[in-house]
């Protein structure tokens, strides 16, 4: 059974996916309450301009950076928890079958991709720093950085795991079973993942062209998941991408405003080929080709665009 077919090990009725998505959103809302309570407390002290609460850049200035990061990431932890509860109790599907088509989760894949991409992405930042040091400012504050590291190491993987399990896991399987093919979930989850970032402050500064990067990253992770028959590589990549970014470099116009080692003080309008097109059209395809060689990926056309058929009943058992 391939990765999308793992949905048949539970109850794959599409109405359950609709309810499960609502449950996950409820989890996001519940875990957003500490932030709302903190904002309300500031409002009672007259420290909040209600007219600006819809401006994410304003919200990011209400609290100290590490506190802001906790408030930013907690809702994703809630979404992940409630999503997994929906999978277990609503779909009667196991955590393993939501994660991979293998008999058990391959943690070696997760951590290998985490460290490889963490080192590579950090190296790209350092290369840019040495090529254009005027665009960076030393931002390291040991005590605040240590607190940041604890927060980020705990919460960033929960944030990225929620996005992976929601898009490349839950919706990928649900849409695949509904559409009876692979290309519909490949396209829809990738585009929706990219558009989910449309309210990020980076979009305001860099323009909608940045959606090329977000949607392109969605396609990259979706292709990786379908070709490898599991989420492990995508989980490792996404966690490394966000964690190392949070620790290494920040800017006044990003969603992750942290006590990182460096601060990007260059003109954001200058972003172009290096920041958007190089990763999507050169680096990501190279990574996919290398991974294909390492893991022996074959039948690319069928795995990305082929049909999804319900396997014989004897191949799986639904737990009631």
Give the 3-state DSSP-derived string for 192-257, with helices as H, strands as E and coil as C.
HHHHCCCCCHHHHHHCHHHHHHHHHHHHHHHHHHHHHCECHHHHHHHHHHHHHHHHHEECCCCCCC
Which structural domain, as residue segments, surrounds residue 135?
Answer: 4-310
Question: pLDDT at position 52, please?
Answer: 77
Higher pLDDT, 62 or 35: 35
Count other Cβ atoms within 10 Å, centred on residue 73: 23
Question: Which residue's structure tokens are 């392109």?
Answer: 216
Residue 197 resides in a domain: yes
Structure tokens given for 107: 């943690």
CA–CA separation, 251 vs 9, rounded Å?
Answer: 45
CA–CA separation, 133 vs 33, rounded Å?
Answer: 40
User: Is residue 140's pLDDT more than 60?
Assistant: yes
In sign, the C-alpha dihedral spanning 87, 89, 94, 97 is negative
Task: Report which listed range, 32-41, 78-87, 133-142, is most confident.
Answer: 78-87
Structure tokens given for 145: 């950085």
Q: CA dihedral defined by 214, 226, 163, 24, rounded to 10 degrees?
A: 130
The model's pLDDT over 112-132, given as tens digits with 9 standing for 90+, comes to 999 999 999 999 899 989 988
Residue 64 resides in a domain: yes
Quick one: average pLDDT of 51-72? 84
Structural contact between residues 258 and 264, judged by C-beta atoms closer than 8 angstroms: no
- pTM score, two decimals? 0.94
How are beta strands 136-138 and 249-250 bridged, if at all?
unpaired
Structural contact between residues 4 and 172, judged by C-beta atoms closer than 8 angstroms: yes
User: Is residue 320's pLDDT more than 70?
Assistant: no
In sign, the C-alpha dihedral spanning 192, 60, 160, 85 is negative
Residue 51 resides in a domain: yes
Residue 157 resides in a domain: yes
The model's pLDDT over 2-47, given as tens digits with 9 standing for 90+, comes to 999 999 999 999 999 999 999 999 999 999 999 999 998 988 888 8
**Which band of pLDDT confidence, cut at 50, 70 and 90, is reported for residue 136?**
very high
User: Is residue 70's pLDDT more than 70?
Assistant: yes
CA–CA separation, 204 vs 210, rounded Å?
Answer: 10
Residue 320 resides in a domain: no
The model's pLDDT over 258-284, given as tens digits with 9 standing for 90+, comes to 999 999 988 766 555 677 888 999 999
CA atoms within 13 A of residue 197's CA, in its CB half-sphere: 24
**Which band of pLDDT confidence, cut at 50, 70 and 90, is reported for residue 56?**
confident
CA-atom Rg of the chain in angstroms: 20
Q: CA dihedral defined by 187, 189, 191, 195, rounded to 10 degrees?
A: 170
Higher pLDDT, 53 or 103: 103
Question: pLDDT at position 160, please?
Answer: 98
The model's pLDDT over 170-207, given as tens digits with 9 standing for 90+, comes to 999 999 999 999 999 999 999 999 999 998 888 877 88
Residue 318 resides in a domain: no
Residue 193 resides in a domain: yes
Count up the domains in the chain and report the number: 1
């Amino acid at each position: 059974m391939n990765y999308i077919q793992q949905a048949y090990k539970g109850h794959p009725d599409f109405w359950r996916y609709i309810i499960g998505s609502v449950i996950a959103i409820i989890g996001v809302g519940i875990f957003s309450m500490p932030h709302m309570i903190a904002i309300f407390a500031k409002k009672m002290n007259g420290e909040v301009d209600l007219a600006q609460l819809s401006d994410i850049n304003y919200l990011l200035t209400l609290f100290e950076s590490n506190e802001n990061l906790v408030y930013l990431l907690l809702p994703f932890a809630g979404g992940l928890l409630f999503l997994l509860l929906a999978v277990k109790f609503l779909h009667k599907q196991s955590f393993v079958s939501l994660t991979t088509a293998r008999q058990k989760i391959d943690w070696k894949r997760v951590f290998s991709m985490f460290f490889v991409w963490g080192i590579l992405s950090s190296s790209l930042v350092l290369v840019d720093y040495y090529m254009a040091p005027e665009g960076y400012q030393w931002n390291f504050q040991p005590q605040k950085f240590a607190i940041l590291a604890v927060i980020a190491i705990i919460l960033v993987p929960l944030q990225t795991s929620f996005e992976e399990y929601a898009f490349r896991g839950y919706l990928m399987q649900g849409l695949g079973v509904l559409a009876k093919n692979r290309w519909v979930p490949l396209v829809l989850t990738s585009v929706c993942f990219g558009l989910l970032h449309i309210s990020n402050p980076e979009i305001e500064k860099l323009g909608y062209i940045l959606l090329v990067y977000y949607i392109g990253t969605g396609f990259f992770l979706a292709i990786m998941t379908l070709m490898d028959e599991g989420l492990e590589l995508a989980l490792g990549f996404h966690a490394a991408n966000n964690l190392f970014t949070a620790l290494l470099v920040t800017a006044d116009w990003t969603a992750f405003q942290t006590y990182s080692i460096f601060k990007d003080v260059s003109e954001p309008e200058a972003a172009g080929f290096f920041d958007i097109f190089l990763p999507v059209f050169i680096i990501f395809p190279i990574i996919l080709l290398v991974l294909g060689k390492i893991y022996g990926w074959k039948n690319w056309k069928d795995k990305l665009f082929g049909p999804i058929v319900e396997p014989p009943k004897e191949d799986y058992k639904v737990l009631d």
